[in-house]
Each structure stands twice: as structure tokens, then as C-alpha cells.
């Protein structure tokens, strides 16, 4: 193995650095901000992991290996920052994402319980059943405690002697495995991995034609005392509507209730402030008022923005850059759940020319894992 530079200390950069270090590479990480980065898309109370994935069977089938990859990291780190919740999916019209998810899940043997509109308030008295045309409950799935996972990864890198250098990259040279920092420093290694999140398109013009940064708003709430305990035991909520609907993350492990919408905002600038305006917060709350009973009684704790790096079809971009580089981008708000898995996969592919060329279609959810990649991951995650 040789030397590697990872640009970006979000979930993908840190996971890849951890996996490469485990595989025997000499690794250094470069990050423009503190770690955890308060401006990073990875740094929040929670991210969701679930098998329900619409018609995207490739990503649905990556979930079990993703759990195994998290188990490997958690066992190494001595803690398990994950809470099982299950999934409650609601739709305002028949067909679409919910029906596609049900068909794909049952086709792969997952237990799915169909629900009627009247079942929703009976099971979850803080929710309304109005306007529900279809619904199901899935027992698998839960909340990854994102900030704690980023901290855990940083601690594992420190334990392995992997430095995290503070610096802003202004140019990358994948052919030479090199990058240049704003202070003029030039760094070079056998392998360069660009995992710069929404800043990636600024550094790679070809990526800018495929991936755009978007500003996404989340609102954190405190449920009223009458519903606090029920919310803490609730499944994640996916409320699907023609306008995109909203999602809700239950207040697990001392975190707040969080809601956001499913739409991708117009192009955004990741250098902008992370505070959300009152109008932005109100727009998110408006999506939830029809479903969460008495939402006016919930206390708004905060509202903020994060930035996704969005690929139009929501496919991950994990591709070679020349002879000595890789790019990891286009995670479109659903990549966190695969962080440990993709890090381990890239570490395998980095030292194998065939796997390096074949990994892209798998990461995009379009093909099974290339021969050798999945078997190696199974050995890693079951060791």
C-alpha cells in the first residue's frame, strides 16, 4: 500500500480515511474547517437508514451490507450510535414511491405491514389520518446519530495516527495525486480522494456539470409533554405528497424531533450562512401541519440549512480520476447511511485496477457489486 490524501472530513472522507488506514495505507486528511465541521452536511443530530427505497433496488440491497459496515466501525470504536425505529410511510395518492417500495421490499422478503388511514391516529395519536391513500410500516430502519459517528471516526483516525490537517484546497491535480492549498502548500500522494461535499464542483469542473449544491432546511422541535413519550418511541415518518411531502425523525437518544422536506432546493452556495430564515422554517412547518396534530403546540428549537451535493438522478458518483485519484460526490441527501460501506469499498478498489473501474455502477445503484468487492466486504464486516 502507498500514501493517500483525503480531501474533506465529512462522512465520506472520514470513512474512507478510516478504511484506507485499516487496509495499511499511510493516510492524511485535509479539511477546511474544524472536525466535526459545523458547516458540513454530515454534522447534525441524525441521519436515517432504511430499506425502503422506492424502485431503487440497488440501494435497497446495499442496506444490509451498510449495516454490517457500521457494525464493524462501532465494534472498533466501542460504542453504537444508532437507534432502531422502523419506518412509517404514508402517501396521499396510490402508486408512486410507496407502492414501488412495497413491491421491492416484499420481492426481497422484507416484512411490510399495510395500514389503512384509520390505523394511523389509532397507533400514533399525535398524527392525523386525513388524506392518506396508502401506508405501510416496516420494522427495519433507524437513526444513525450523525454527529457522534463523525466524532467516532475522527477518534479512530487519531488512534491510528492519521493526521487531519486544516487547510482550504484551491486546486486539485488527480493525475499526480496532488492538491494545492490556499496558503500555497502543495501536497502529493499515491492516491487522492476528493470527498469535498458541496464544495467539490468548485474544484472539479467536470463534476460541476453533473452535481450541484443545494440549500436544504431542517426544523428542530420539542413535542408538547402529552406526546413527548410517544414521539420518542415513534418510527421515522415519510409523508409523501405530490409537492414532495416531508420527513420526521423522532427525538431519540436525547435529540430533538426534526422535520424537513423531500424536495431539492434550487442551486445554493455552500459558503452561505447556515441559519435559516423565518420564511424558510415556516415553509417546512407548513408541509407538516396537515399530518402532525396540534403542531402549533410544538416548540421550535431551531431551524438551519445544510447543503447537499445533488446528482439529478440521485445516483452516487464514486469514480476514478486519472491514475491516482477518486471522486466521491452526488450523495443527494441519502448518502450518509452508506458512509462506512463506501469507505470500505473504495479502500478495496483503490488497490485493484479492475475493482476501481467497476465500482462506479455499483455505487450508483445500477449494478450488483463487482466480483471480489462484495466478498471482501463480507470478510471485513464479519471478521
- Which residue ranges make up each domain of the chain? 3-54+146-211+313-382, 87-139+212-310
pTM of the model: 0.95
pLDDT of residue 43: 81
Grid coordinates 417500495 are at which residue? 101
Compute the distance between CA of residue 50 and CA of residue 85 in angstroms, rounded to an integer: 10
Number of other CB atoms surrounding residue 215 within 10 Å: 20
pLDDT of residue 357: 84
Residue among 281, 335, 332 at smallest CA distance from 307:
332
Bridge-based pairing state of the strands 317-321 and 325-329: antiparallel
Number of other CB atoms surrounding residue 165 within 10 Å: 13
Compute the distance between CA of residue 138 and CA of residue 183 in angstroms, rounded to an integer: 51
Compute the distance between CA of residue 232 and CA of residue 312 in angstroms, rounded to an integer: 34
pLDDT of residue 106: 97
pLDDT of residue 383: 46
The correct CATH number of 3-54+146-211+313-382 out of 3.50.50.60, 3.30.70.890, 3.10.580.10, 3.30.70.860 is 3.50.50.60
Sign of CA dihedral 211, 217, 223, 227: negative
pLDDT of residue 351: 84
Phi, psi of 302 (to 5 degrees): -170, 165
pLDDT of residue 380: 54
C-alpha cell at 83: 437507534
C-alpha cell at 163: 493526521
CATH, range 87-139+212-310: 3.30.9.10
For the chain, residues with pLDDT lower than 50 are 381-383
Cβ proximity of 65 and 49 under 8 Å: no
Compute the distance between CA of residue 164 and CA of residue 270 in angstroms, rounded to an integer: 21
191 burial (CB, 10 Å; 0-12 / 13-18 / 19+) is buried
Query: What is the DSSP secondary structure assignment for residue 318, as one 8-state letter?
Result: E
pLDDT of residue 58: 96
Q: What is the pLDDT of residues 17-42, one digit of tens each?
A: 999 999 999 999 999 998 988 888 77
Amino acid at each position: 500500500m502507498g500514501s493517500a490524501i483525503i480531501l474533506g472530513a465529512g462522512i465520506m472522507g472520514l470513512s474512507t480515511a478510516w478504511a484506507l488506514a485499516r487496509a495499511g495505507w499511510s493516510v492524511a486528511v485535509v479539511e477546511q474547517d474544524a472536525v466535526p465541521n459545523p458547516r458540513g452536511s454530515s454534522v447534525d443530530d441524525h441521519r436515517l437508514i432504511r430499506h425502503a427505497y422506492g424502485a431503487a433496488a440497488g440501494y435497497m440491497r446495499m442496506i444490509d451490507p451498510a449495516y454490517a459496515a457500521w457494525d464493524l466501525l462501532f465494534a472498533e470504536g466501542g460504542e453504537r450510535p444508532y437507534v432502531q425505529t422502523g419506518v412509517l410511510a404514508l402517501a396521499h395518492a396510490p402508486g408512486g414511491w410507496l407502492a414501488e417500495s412495497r413491491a421491492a421490499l416484499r420481492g426481497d422478503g422484507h416484512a411490510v405491514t399495510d395500514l389503512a388511514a384509520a390505523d394511523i391516529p389509532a397507533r400514533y395519536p399525535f398524527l392525523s389520518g386525513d388524506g392518506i391513500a396508502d401506508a405501510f410500516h416496516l420494522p427495519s430502519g433507524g437513526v444513525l446519530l450523525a454527529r457522534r459517528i463523525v466524532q467516532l471516526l475522527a477518534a479512530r483516525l487519531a488512534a491510528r495516527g492519521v493526521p487531519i490537517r486544516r487547510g482550504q484546497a484551491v486546486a486539485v491535480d488527480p493525475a499526480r495525486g496532488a492538491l494545492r492549498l490556499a496558503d500555497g502548500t502543495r501536497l502529493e500522494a499515491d492516491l487522492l480522494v476528493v470527498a469535498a461535499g458541496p464544495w467539490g464542483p468548485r474544484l472539479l469542473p467536470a463534476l460541476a456539470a453533473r452535481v450541484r449544491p443545494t440549500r436544504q432546511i431542517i426544523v428542530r422541535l420539542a413535542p408538547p409533554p402529552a406526546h413527548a413519550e410517544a414521539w420518542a418511541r415513534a418510527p421515522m415518518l415519510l409523508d409523501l405528497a405530490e409537492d414532495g411531502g416531508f420527513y420526521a425523525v423522532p427525538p431519540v437518544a436525547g435529540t430533538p424531533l426534526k422535520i424537513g422536506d423531500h424536495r431539492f432546493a434550487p442551486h445554493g452556495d455552500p459558503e452561505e450562512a447556515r441559519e435559516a430564515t423565518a420564511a424558510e422554517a415556516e415553509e417546512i412547518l407548513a408541509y407538516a401541519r396537515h399530518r402532525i396534530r396540534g403542531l402549533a403546540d410544538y416548540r421550535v428549537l431551531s431551524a438551519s440549512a445544510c447543503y447537499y451535493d445533488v446528482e439529478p438522478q440521485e445516483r452516487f458518483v464514486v469514480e476514478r480520476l486519472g491514475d491516482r485519484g477518486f471522486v466521491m460526490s452526488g450523495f443527494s441527501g441519502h448518502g450518509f447511511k452508506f458512509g462506512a460501506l463506501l469507505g470500505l469499498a473504495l479502500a478495496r478498489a483503490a488497490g485493484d485496477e479492475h475493482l476501481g473501474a467497476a465500482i462506479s455502477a455499483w455505487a450508483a445503484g445500477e449494478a450488483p457489486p463487482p466480483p471480489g468487492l462484495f466478498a471482501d466486504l463480507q470478510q471485513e464486516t464479519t471478521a
